[in-house]
Amino acid sequence: MKKLVSFGLAAAMVVSLAACGSGSNSGSGSGSSETTAAATTAAAEAEGSQAAGTEGGSDNAGAEGSFKIGVIGPLTGGAAAYGNAVKNGADLAVKEINAAGGAGGYMLEVNPQDDEHDAQKSVNAYNTLKDWGAQMIVGSTTSGPCIAVASETSNDNMFQITPSGSAVECVSPDNVFRVCFSDPDQGMAAAKYIGENKLATTVAIIYDSSTEYSSGIREAFIKEAGNQGLEIVADEAFTADTATDFSVQLDKAKEANAELVFLPIYYQEASIILKQASDKEFAPIFFGVDGMDGILSVKNFDTSLAEGVMLLTPFSATEESSQKFTSDYVAAYGEEPNQFAADSYDAVYALKAAIEQSGVTPDMDASAICDALKTAMTEISIDGLTGAGMSWNAAGEPDKEPKAAKIVNGVYEMQ
């Protein structure tokens, strides 16, 4: 069983967050140091070369000798912005890698499956991918489904890397790694950032008690808030069944004179909260975490309401170092990438590096590949979109610099 919390990473976050403010991105915008010259036209060149039932192939993808990678996430439903970003980020990375000669000389083949942000449907998606012959998994995208799938991949000894499953339990099995930070690390880092940058002294929390993601971040935030001199003046929960009316929670935060409202929640609920807060003429600082990424793309949402919102995120599409990835992504998918797309892109490049480090080949079975990749992941380092010199420990946790962004004039501006 893995150690659940990486104390080394937590210590590193203390230092790195205190240093935020340069506005520079540690990511290189190249998924791997070995692939910085990947063709900018790879997505277009590979568009017509997909194998039946899969995406992101090349002329040889799907043929004997290709590594088969399953991708799982919500492609439909309320969390579809996350799942489609993960699908597209993986697809773009695979196309680039294949255009540049593959991973260790072998092509990659990717097959995305929809789990609708549901744990059982995520397991069903995994079983579909097993039947297809998947040898490794990118996903699941959200925490609850990821925990469910991790139990299955652990039983099968199938290698799994989640771009964005942030609950501690997502990487409990030793075959699962992640690109994003864990919920405790996000909660602790958010409290440190608010305290060290003196953004507020009185804080209200509005969280979703029905999700592991939100509850885990909240718990860590509260533990660190006292160390930062932050007073929690309101701590208000909602559930998936009550996520349309936040009047009670906002009224309590306003009556308590909260200078900042911490939102460890997903962007859909956050957009409703911002609208209802505006209606109440309540204008504190709103501060979120990676689930907030996507709020500017909510249909019919007045994005001016998000002006000044802050969030912890390792990626901004508008940064200079992200421009190549952003332009390629827009050309391929018709929209700007979010953090989830960048996380997934980095996950595939991490797989490439681990495949090459371990020397695995497509004719090996999934369990043998998994055993080799588990070791290789602790030996590699990549310059990714979400962090330069990114590496992993045996607990599956990434070592990279966390950063904060602020929405200014309708775009994310790194702080």
Q: Are 184 and 168 spatial neighbours (Cβ–Cβ below 8 Å)?
A: yes
Asked whether residue 36 carries a pLDDT value surpassing 60, the answer given is: no
pLDDT at 64: 59
pLDDT at 18: 32
Confidence of residue 210 (pLDDT cuts 50, 70, 90): very high
Mean pLDDT of 299-305: 94
Q: Which residue bears the tokens 């390792």?
A: 314
Query: Tokens at residue 12, please?
Result: 């590193």
pLDDT at 403: 80
Contacts 24+ apart (CB under 8 A), 366-371: 366/134, 366/135, 366/136, 366/156, 366/157, 366/158, 366/159, 367/156, 367/157, 367/158, 369/135, 369/136, 369/159, 370/136, 370/157, 370/158, 370/159, 370/175, 371/157
Mean pLDDT of 342-359: 98
12-26, 108-122, 179-193, 260-274: segment of lowest average pLDDT: 12-26
Model pTM score = 0.74
Asked whether residue 15 carries a pLDDT value surpassing 90, the answer given is: no
Question: Nearest 5°: phi and psi at 209?
Answer: -75, -5
pLDDT at 192: 93
163-177, 288-302, 344-358: segment of lowest average pLDDT: 288-302
Asked whether residue 317 carries a pLDDT value surpassing 90, the answer given is: no
pLDDT at 25: 32
Asked whether residue 8 carries a pLDDT value surpassing 70, the answer given is: no
Mean pLDDT of 329-351: 96
Asked whether residue 10 carries a pLDDT value surpassing 60, the answer given is: no
